[in-house]
């Protein structure tokens, strides 16, 4: 049975170079930072495994041991009988790391944002959200039924105007990515904190791309900027720097108690496999102690960014491990990505609706797994293609 409207809309998507397709990438355990695709090893410049932990033997070992002890699945939600011992261990360690009362693990970052936002606000409330916030934040707001006040990216005057306009709403929540996932720039946290105070709002920060990366022990950007105590709800993932899967929320005892009672994805969904949680316990130890991973990541980011910038590419004004090469047309981004693949580099084209219309891009993301030699080679290839494809002027 062919569903005609679907077929037609898919053809239109394909025609606009917007159809997404799954491709298989096979990890190469002995070469972190590379993936196999089409029978070739490609330098992986699209992974969020910032610290290169996804193949770490100590994490694999911790997961194997827990698998043998705990079995493959938790069998029930955490509030029923699925709350196994590794959960308590991980949440205690997360709270200590984040220097806050308590932490709560969620199935993944998407679910954490949806669960937390819909637990905090509802009808009659308002959420102020940066235009470039992650889709999971947007979906959380929609599900919450609160008013969605979107402010222009990092535009504090616009945010202030919206805060003023909605000043009489019951609860007010400001939510932002700490590092924006497709642009790699930072939120203006100091300004957000001043506004949150002035208008008596809560502030939630999503550290998906900054947890593990910033701060002396990888605590996150709010830590690095010394504003951690001014943030009410701290969210991060176990899927990026941690190299595994899952997410955490940290905050006051009251907040965590509230979420345990009100966050529906936590209540109505099976707990993550305990082996995975045991892996995260081990990953957190590595994140806190192996500072060289952050140093390597920063060196890689700095080198890659400055090289592309000097070559004349438009890479925005971030300073993180996310380096967007904005190309505009979807077709151009796909063409660039496939040319990179021919050169042995996996760097995926990011198109709308993930990014605004007309800003299709290659989103490079760096990792502690990459050496400067590998990146220098990649930069040479990227520059050559930039000239060939008319992105750089010769
Ligand atoms: C990746 C990401 C998420 C989702 O995290 P997952 O654990 O992959 O579901 C949430 N917020 C931001 C900003 C992200 O980049």
CATH classification at residue 91: 3.40.640.10
DSSP letter, residue 385 = H
Same domain, 205 and 346: no
DSSP letter, residue 72 = S
Please work out whether the CB of residue 134 comes within 6 Å of at least one atom of ligand 1: yes
Same domain, 285 and 298: no
Please work out whether the CB of residue 114 comes within 6 Å of at least one atom of ligand 1: no
Distance CA 180, CA 177 (A): 5
Distance CA 97, CA 123 (A): 35
The residue from 289, 314, 334 where one domain ends is 289
Beta-strand ranges (E) seen in the chain are 26-27, 34-37, 40-44, 102-106, 126-130, 147-151, 172-177, 202-206, 233-237, 247-251, 322-328, 345-346, 349-350, 360-365
| Residue 306 CA to ligand 1 centre (angstroms) | 26
pLDDT tens, per residue, the chain with 394 residues: 889 999 999 999 999 989 999 999 999 999 989 999 999 999 999 999 999 999 999 999 999 999 999 999 999 999 999 999 999 999 999 999 999 999 999 999 999 999 999 999 999 999 999 999 999 999 999 999 999 999 999 999 999 999 999 999 999 999 999 999 999 999 999 999 999 999 999 999 999 999 999 999 999 999 999 999 999 999 999 999 999 999 999 999 999 999 999 999 999 999 999 999 999 999 999 999 999 999 999 999 999 999 999 999 999 989 899 999 999 999 999 999 999 999 999 999 999 999 999 999 999 999 999 999 999 999 999 999 999 999 998 7
The residue from 259, 289, 319 where one domain ends is 289
Count of the separate structural domains present in the chain: 2
Is residue 7 in a domain?
no
Please work out whether the CB of residue 49 comes within 6 Å of at least one atom of ligand 1: no
Beta-strand ranges (E) seen in 278-321 are none
Is residue 44 in a domain?
yes
* Residue to substitute in 46, 110, 242 for testing ligand 1 pocket (most ligand atoms within 8 angstroms of CB): 110
Report, as residue numbers or ranges, the catalytic residues: 181, 209, 240
Same domain, 202 and 268: yes
Same domain, 193 and 121: yes
| Residue 5 CA to ligand 1 centre (angstroms) | 31
Could you list the residue range(s) of the whole structural domain that residue 34 is in? 18-51+291-388
| Residue 132 CA to ligand 1 centre (angstroms) | 13
Rg of the chain's alpha carbons, rounded to an integer? Answer: 21
> Which residue is listed with tokens 């979107």?
150
Is residue 144 in a domain?
yes
* Residue to substitute in 106, 208, 354, 363 for testing ligand 1 pocket (most ligand atoms within 8 angstroms of CB): 208
């Amino acid at each position: 049975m062919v569903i005609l409207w679907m077929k037609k809309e898919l053809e239109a998507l394909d025609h606009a170079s917007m159809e997404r397709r799954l491709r298989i990438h096979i990890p190469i355990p002995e070469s972190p930072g590379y993936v196999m695709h089409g029978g070739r090893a490609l330098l992986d410049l699209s992974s969020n495994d910032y610290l290169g932990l996804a193949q770490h033997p100590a994490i694999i070992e911790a997961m194997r041991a827990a698998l043998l002890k705990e079995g493959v699945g938790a069998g029930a939600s955490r509030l029923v009988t699925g709350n196994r011992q590794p959960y308590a261990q991980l949440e205690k360690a997360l709270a200590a790391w984040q220097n806050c009362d308590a932490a709560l693990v969620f199935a993944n970052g998407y679910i954490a944002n949806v669960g937390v936002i819909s637990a905090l606000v509802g009808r009659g409330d308002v959420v102020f959200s940066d235009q470039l916030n992650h889709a999971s934040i947007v979906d959380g707001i929609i599900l919450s039924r609160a008013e969605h006040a979107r402010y222009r990216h990092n535009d504090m005057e616009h945010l202030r105007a919206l805060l003023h306009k909605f000043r009489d709403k019951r609860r007010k929540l400001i939510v932002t990515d700490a590092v924006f996932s497709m642009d790699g720039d930072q939120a203006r946290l100091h300004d957000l904190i001043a506004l949150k105070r002035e208008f008596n709002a809560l502030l939630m920060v999503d550290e998906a791309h900054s947890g593990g990366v910033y701060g002396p022990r990888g605590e996150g950007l709010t830590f690095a900027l010394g504003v951690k105590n001014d943030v009410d709800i701290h969210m991060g993932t176990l899927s990026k720097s941690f190299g595994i899967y899952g997410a955490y929320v940290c905050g006051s005892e009251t907040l965590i108690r509230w979420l345990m009672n009100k966050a529906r994805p936590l209540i109505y969904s099976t707990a993550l496999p305990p082996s995975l949680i045991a892996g995260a316990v081990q990953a957190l130890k590595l994140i806190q102690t192996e500072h060289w991973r952050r140093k390597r990541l920063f060196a890689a980011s700095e080198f890659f960014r400055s090289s592309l910038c000097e070559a004349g590419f438009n890479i925005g004004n971030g300073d993180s491990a996310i380096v967007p090469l904005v190309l505009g047309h979807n077709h151009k981004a796909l063409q660039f990505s496939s040319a990179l693949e021919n050169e042995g580099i996996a760097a995926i084209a990011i198109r709308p609706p993930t990014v605004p219309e007309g800003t299709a891009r290659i989103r490079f993301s760096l990792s502690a797994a990459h050496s400067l030699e590998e990146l220098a080679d990649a930069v040479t290839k990227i520059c050559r293609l930039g000239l060939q494809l008319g992105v750089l002027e010769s």
